[in-house]
Structure 1
Amino acid sequence: MDGLSGIPAESGNMSLVDRDREAFFHPFTSIKDQKTNGAIVMTAAEGCRIRDASGSEYLDGAAGLWCVNVGYGRTEIADAIHAQSKALPYFHTFNTMANDPVVRLSERLLGLAPANMKRVFYGSSGSDANDTAVKMLWSYNICRGKPEKKKIISRAYAYHGVSVASGSLTGVPMVHQYFGLPLEFARHVSRPDLYRDAPARGFSSQEAYSSFLARELEEMILAEGPETVAGFVAEPVMGTGGVLPPPRGYFQEIKRVLDRYDIRMVADEVITGFGRLGQWFACDSYGIEPDLILAAKGLTSGYLPLSAVIVGEKIWRVFEAASDDGRAFAHGFTYSGHPACAAAAMANLDIIERENLVQRVAEIAPDFRSIFTGKLLDLDIVGDIRTAGLMMGIELVANKGEKRAFPAAAKIAGRVSLAARRHGLLLRALPNSDVLALSPPFTVSHKDMEMIAERARAAIVGITAELRQEALL
């Protein structure tokens, strides 16, 4: 990999793999798999390419976990972190304390966000941003004298995090199993799925399907009691739930229901924020009018952990009025508004603006789609390719005409993902479905997109041949 240096393993890759087995508890990883197969230890990256300790090189088609938007190896961000760490490496933001980069970042985010956004609250992850949103909704209603308004409605297979509160909002079954989740406050309605659910229910019109989903939400609100429901949280495009763009008119129909029952809208833009769909925020793409916006991944492109909850006028106005008696919003984290993280975010936003990367996403998104549909849609097990900006979901099926799924235990997407690694490609197999997710850095070249598609094709073709031998096709 040209120009890609790295930190060599002290005693070779196997030494690091063995040490990993003995020391590191991996998230979202089978302990049995870690013991049997070992870890892939990454050591260096540049642009869209990443290298492991054995010297193997990969095209990163997933930008880490949907987050390395400006690509790897951006020295401007590293330099900003270094400079801030020398000047002020850390100080808290409790009790009216602040620091220069977080003040500047807050002003900048409000300038990029929808006009009704008034303040910014910081954490370190999308999970804690969702937790913060839950507590803000609860506090907002307590301040209004409506403490019983606590339930929050999410959607099946949505992903909002894995902490106790955010994991309850998440609708992915594996996040609930073995943890006693979800907690009682969380409810879930259907996810919008134009490939499977809409035709199965007999909807040929996206608008009619949107109206149906809004009615389902309203029925749940009425069944629970509108006086008990505080908010509705949704990703503009569902990520982990299958890369599912909303049907036309969906969020407008949802808003009419929420307004009718005094329920606040929370837009989880942890994946979609900062240009992933070709606009700074996906709220602008889909006409969403949020009361809270949650952001993380693209805020620093993953160079340091930072999340933000951007607070809308309705909620801020109530908080501000309630503070007249001297009460504090008694919530926050040791690293809320961390100066080095804020400096990383500022440098990241500088790159996005200087290189016009949001507009670039909008310009290359049609090619992103056409390259993959051209190279993959003819394959026997590729049932659907859906995109929004630089997000893509490739759904694998046992029968295209019937949209028949593979047995869940076969884990076909996982097998394709492993095969893709052998071809030098990293992509994501999503949980609870045979969907492969792609979300490359905004700097991805047309040549790289072609290579990613070719390697994905090779992986799918190889697994298809195995499935025929196993009589699964």
Structure 2
Amino acid sequence: MGGLSHDELQQAARDHLLLHFSKQGIDDLLVLERGEGPYVFDTKGDRYVDALSSLFCAQIGYSHGEEMAAAAAAQLTTLAFNTNWATAHPAAIELAQRLAGLAPGDLNRVFFTNGGSESVEAAWKLCREYHLANGQPQRTKAIARDIAYHGVTLGALSFTGVERFKAPFGQAPIDVTHVSNTNSFRGWEGGPVQDEAAFCARLLAEVEDAIVAAGPDEVALIIAEPVQNAGGCLTAPAGYWRGLRELADRYGALLMADEVITGCGRLGEWFGIVREGVTPDLVSLAKGLTSAYAPMGAVVAGERVVAPMAEAGAVFRHGITFGGHPVSAAIALKNIEIFERDGVLENVRALESHLERGLATLRDLPIVGDTRGRGFFWAIELVKDDENATFDQAERDRLVRGFLPGRLREAGIIARADDRGDAVLQIAPPLISDAALLDEIVERLGDVLTDAGAHMGVGTTTGVA
């Protein structure tokens, strides 16, 4: 390593490092230098439970470095690099074959990228090529969901439904209509949904209305996450995805599952959408594809999407120099091997209900209004009173950006405080976590949220301070 001391690293970061989605020049920046199992260690030697899997990426934790290094070394000493531009290499071909075998239905064609935003952009280009090949160039519009996050490159940002991320960068290059998300805690006149079937019907009717308003022959794509991240792990009502599939088929659009977060084991399946009993036309992957031991993303496309191009021998007018990098592909193959060898998916399935029950006990705290999620992907919605009232902007700033980051760090746990919708605290533990570690995470969260409630005056007779 560079050998800089803790203080030198802090100063160098302030002087030279531009942080992602963060205020710049943070005092006492958390700098992590080592990982072991589900734990990470900072430059002062303090240990933290990584209950966020390093932003939903580190699926198998931090103890497989030697195996991954061996896989990388074998590839580097054989062929360090080759593109997938009119050539290919064995690692990318083998990985594409493996992903096709793991995917549902006819999702058999794989295009590699370097991450999530690139995957969403590549999927949109595949979608456009499909409609062009079918003689429908007018299909240039899309349907996405409110508050949903689909990436930050300008194309992917078009699908993102968080206005404050979009407004500074001008007119979006893709015409996207945003419809309601599936927040059942706030989905019925601001309160919890009482009739799931009616809620589902209303959501689907809104999607259909949006398609009709945009022009049924102009909509190219419907995009959604199996569990929506922004807004706090929003699950869909029963029948929702089957309804989206039916609407896409009826109006000639493609259906895409953005699985950058929910894929690669996070929901206990390689493709989380299988839990909905639906096969989409396109799936985006990233994050857990290599368990973050190397950067990589992918789009997995159905045969019917690719057929018009493949049969005509047409050129797919898109490419990424490092997409499908041999070393990343070799690491992804090793990651799949470890998943299968160590029963990683089986562990998530076995412990999902245990984690759900543990988090549900936090609802006894006055500041907790709801707990929701699937697999190892959960959110806790934070409220200001017994009526589940939401915090206003000043209160969210005080809670989400002011109190929680420092208190979580003090508690030795990494989680995500977020307010792209209402105020939530999210966790996504490494998929190797056992019951004891999950219990420890819940206990630490309980301590943090007890203090958060006191800090905000929740549960007192005077309300929020």
* TM-score for the superposition, normalised by structure 1: 0.93
Q: 1:218 corresponds to which residue?
A: 208
Deviations 1:197-222 (A, max 9, x none): 13638852212111111110110111
Report if the CA contact (8 A) 1:137-1:150 is conserved: no
Q: 1:428 corresponds to which residue?
A: 416
Look up the SS of the partner of 1:153 in the other structure: strand
Look up the SS of the partner of 2:7 in the other structure: helix
Tell me which of 70, 85, 93 is aligned to 1:79. 70
Instruction: Please report how far the alpha carbon of residue 173 of structure 1 lies from its aligned counterpart in structure 2 after TM superposition.
Output: 2.3
Report if the CA contact (8 A) 2:309-2:315 is conserved: no
**Are residue 464 (structure 1) and residue 453 (structure 2) matched?**
yes
Instruction: Please report how far the alpha carbon of residue 239 of structure 1 lies from its aligned counterpart in structure 2 after TM superposition.
Output: 1.1
Tell me the matched-pair count.
457
Deviations 1:299-343 (A, max 9, x none): 1011111111011021111111332xxx41121101121100000
Structure 2 CA distance for aligned equivalents of residues 405 and 434 of structure 1: 8
RMSD across aligned positions (CA):
1.7
1:121-200 equivalences in 2 (<5 Å): 121-198=111-188, 200=190
Deviations 1:326-367 (A, max 9, x none): x41121101121100000100110010011111110100011
Report if the CA contact (8 A) 2:148-2:161 is conserved: yes
Instruction: Please report how far the alpha carbon of residue 184 of structure 1 lies from its aligned counterpart in structure 2 after TM superposition.
Output: 4.4
Q: 1:19 corresponds to which residue?
A: 12
Report if the CA contact (8 A) 1:155-1:189 is conserved: yes
Q: 2:3 corresponds to which residue?
A: 10
Letter in 1 for 2:410: R
Letter in 1 for 2:85: F
Structure 2 CA distance for aligned equivalents of residues 134 and 143 of structure 1: 14
Look up the SS of the partner of 2:150 in the other structure: coil
Instruction: Please report how far the alpha carbon of residue 391 of structure 1 lies from its aligned counterpart in structure 2 after TM superposition.
Output: 0.7
Tell me which of 38, 41, 50 is aligned to 1:60. 50
Report if the CA contact (8 A) 2:57-2:292 is conserved: yes
Deviations 1:129-183 (A, max 9, x none): 0000111111111111111101011101111110000011111223213112533
Q: 1:3 corresponds to which residue?
A: none
Structure 1 CA distance for aligned equivalents of residues 14 and 192 of structure 2: 50
Structure 2 CA distance for aligned equivalents of residues 189 and 429 of structure 1: 25
Structure 1 CA distance for aligned equivalents of residues 393 and 352 of structure 2: 31
Structure 1 CA distance for aligned equivalents of residues 174 and 264 of structure 2: 33
Look up the SS of the partner of 1:58 in the other structure: strand
Look up the SS of the partner of 2:73 in the other structure: helix
Structure 2 CA distance for aligned equivalents of residues 184 and 168 of structure 1: 6
Report if the CA contact (8 A) 1:21-1:38 is conserved: no
Tell me which of 41, 47, 66 is aligned to 1:51. 41
Structure 1 CA distance for aligned equivalents of residues 406 and 185 of structure 2: 25
Letter in 1 for 2:78: A
Structure 1 CA distance for aligned equivalents of residues 376 and 295 of structure 2: 22
Structure 2 CA distance for aligned equivalents of residues 201 and 382 of structure 1: 15
Letter in 1 for 2:456: L
Report if the CA contact (8 A) 1:382-1:397 is conserved: yes
List runs of 5+ in structure 1 lacking aligned partners: 1-6
1:439-450 equivalences in 2 (<5 Å): 439-450=428-439
Q: 1:4 corresponds to which residue?
A: none
Look up the SS of the partner of 1:87 in the other structure: coil
Deviations 1:34-91 (A, max 9, x none): 34x2421110001110011111110000000111111112121222112212221111
**Are residue 208 (structure 1) and residue 198 (structure 2) matched?**
yes
Deviations 1:97-128 (A, max 9, x none): 11111111111111000121121100001100
Structure 2 CA distance for aligned equivalents of residues 182 and 427 of structure 1: 31
Structure 1 CA distance for aligned equivalents of residues 299 and 188 of structure 2: 32
Q: 2:406 corresponds to which residue?
A: 418
Q: 1:397 corresponds to which residue?
A: 383
1:352-371 equivalences in 2 (<5 Å): 352-371=339-358
Letter in 2 for 1:391: F
Structure 2 CA distance for aligned equivalents of residues 159 and 361 of structure 1: 24
Tell me which of 365, 372, 375 is aligned to 1:386. 372
1:268-283 equivalences in 2 (<5 Å): 268-283=258-273
Structure 2 CA distance for aligned equivalents of residues 408 and 183 of structure 1: 30
| Sequence identity (%) | 33
**Are residue 93 (structure 1) and residue 84 (structure 2) matched?**
yes
Distance of aligned partners of 1:23 and 1:140 in 2 relative to their CA distance in 1, 3 Å threshold: same
Q: 1:227 corresponds to which residue?
A: 217
1:96-111 equivalences in 2 (<5 Å): 97-111=87-101
Structure 1 CA distance for aligned equivalents of residues 424 and 354 of structure 2: 21
Report if the CA contact (8 A) 1:164-1:181 is conserved: no
Structure 2 CA distance for aligned equivalents of residues 417 and 372 of structure 1: 19
Larger deviation: 341-350 or 180-189? Answer: 180-189
Instruction: Please report how far the alpha carbon of residue 446 of structure 1 lies from its aligned counterpart in structure 2 after TM superposition.
Output: 1.6
Letter in 2 for 1:422: E
Distance of aligned partners of 1:459 and 1:201 in 2 relative to their CA distance in 1, 3 Å threshold: closer
Tell me which of 287, 292, 316 is aligned to 1:302. 292
Look up the SS of the partner of 1:377 in the other structure: helix
Larger deviation: 328-337 or 77-86? Answer: 77-86
Structure 1 CA distance for aligned equivalents of residues 205 and 451 of structure 2: 44
Tell me which of 333, 342, 346 is aligned to 2:329. 342
Letter in 2 for 1:419: R
Letter in 1 for 2:437: D
Deviations 1:391-415 (A, max 9, x none): 1010000013x22011122222342
Name segments (4+ residues, structure 1) moved above 6 Å. Answer: none
Report if the CA contact (8 A) 2:32-2:43 is conserved: yes
Structure 1 CA distance for aligned equivalents of residues 5 and 307 of structure 2: 58
